[in-house]
Amino acid sequence: MVRILPLRASRAAYLAASGIAGALTFETKTDSEPVESSPGDNDVRSTEHSTRDVLDINLPDKLPIYPKPNRGLILLDTPSPLELQIGQLRREVCGYYTDVRANVQGVVDQWIHVESMVESRLKSFRDPTEPLNPGLLYTGIAALTTSIFTRSRSLPTRLLLPPLSLFGAFSYFLPRTAHRVGSYAEELEGRYAPRVGEMRQTGVAHTQITVQRIRDSAREGKEAVGKSARSLVEAIESATGLKLGEVLGKDGGKES
């Protein structure tokens, strides 16, 4: 322990610059010295205190060769409450914008997917061996003509005949394309409305049976008329001796 009496400022600056590590403790000692009173005062004594500053320095065993580097200052950025609120609002707005953009993009992607599906399906309906240019034109003309002719008719006629004319013309002018469209319609019908499909198939079967019966009846009637005509010709030939069968046969051969 080294005790140094009043230390000058230059000495303190020198010790601080040379990097001495120690604990500096200032101690103050008070020395009391009696002072004689003035002649007029008998029982009053005043004590004048003089102070001395004592500097205690704890020196290390070995002094450092180089001065110690100064520690760097670390600045902490502390945002204000207004900045925190603005940041929170900005994050909420950005999140809402991101969600809206994602939803819109999802809708657009779905619409593009639907468009591609419809386009591919329409391309699958077309038959490469069947031209579409005159067939679609004739189909549209047939539907338009039917709607013009039936506009002064009753309401059921105006509602039923134009679609029937459209489907009939489409099946007549574009049979392969109509077959593909019908197959796809049956597929959708079996997937989403199987009961309706069964009823339709039953109705189609009954219609086909009815048409076949009508054809059979017409053929039988034609055969009966032919037999009656031949019997009548034979009766005339036997009664008159004319060869009507040969004449009718020649006429029939010319017509054929």
- In tens, the pLDDT along 85-97 reads 999 999 999 999 9
Q: Is there a single domain that holds both residue 116 and residue 207?
A: no
The answer as to whether 230 is a domain residue is yes
Q: Is there a single domain that holds both residue 137 and residue 97?
A: no
Query: CA–CA separation, 49 vs 211, rounded Å?
Result: 142
Q: Is there a single domain that holds both residue 239 and residue 198?
A: yes
Query: CA–CA separation, 200 vs 189, rounded Å?
Result: 10
Whether the per-residue pLDDT at 209 is higher than 80: the answer is: yes
**Which carries the bigger pLDDT value, residue 204 or residue 24?**
204
Q: 137-159 burial string, b = 16+ CB within 10 Å, else e?
A: eebeebbeebeeebeeeeeeeee
Mean pLDDT confidence for 122-151: 89
Domain that holds residue 3: 1-30+51-63
The answer as to whether 77 is a domain residue is no
Whether the per-residue pLDDT at 15 is higher than 70: the answer is: no
Count the residues in the chain.
256
User: For position 204, what pLDDT does the model report?
Assistant: 83
User: For position 113, what pLDDT does the model report?
Assistant: 94
Sheet-wide strand order for 24-35: 2-4, 46-57, 24-35
Q: What percent of the chain has pLDDT over 70?
A: 69
**Which carries the bigger pLDDT value, residue 126 or residue 248?**
126
* Phi, psi (degrees; rounded to nearest 5) at 58: -95, 105
Q: Is there a single domain that holds both residue 153 and residue 191?
A: yes
Q: Is there a single domain that holds both residue 56 and residue 101?
A: no
Q: Is there a single domain that holds both residue 199 and residue 143?
A: yes
The answer as to whether 43 is a domain residue is no
Whether the per-residue pLDDT at 16 is higher than 70: the answer is: no
State pLDDT tens for residues 155-196. 888 899 999 999 999 999 999 999 899 888 888 888 888 888
Whether the per-residue pLDDT at 81 is higher than 80: the answer is: yes
Out of 125, 142, 175, a domain closes at 125
Q: Is there a single domain that holds both residue 147 and residue 201?
A: yes
The answer as to whether 3 is a domain residue is yes
The answer as to whether 79 is a domain residue is no
The answer as to whether 37 is a domain residue is no
Find out whether 55 and 16 touch, Cβ atoms under 8 Å.
Answer: no
**Which carries the bigger pLDDT value, residue 244 or residue 72?**
72
Whether the per-residue pLDDT at 100 is higher than 80: the answer is: yes
| Residue with the two structure tokens 């386009």 | 119
pTM: 0.45
Q: Give the total number of structural domains in the chain.
A: 3
Q: Is there a single domain that holds both residue 121 and residue 187?
A: no
Whether the per-residue pLDDT at 30 is higher than 70: the answer is: no
Mean pLDDT across the chain, nearest whole number? 76
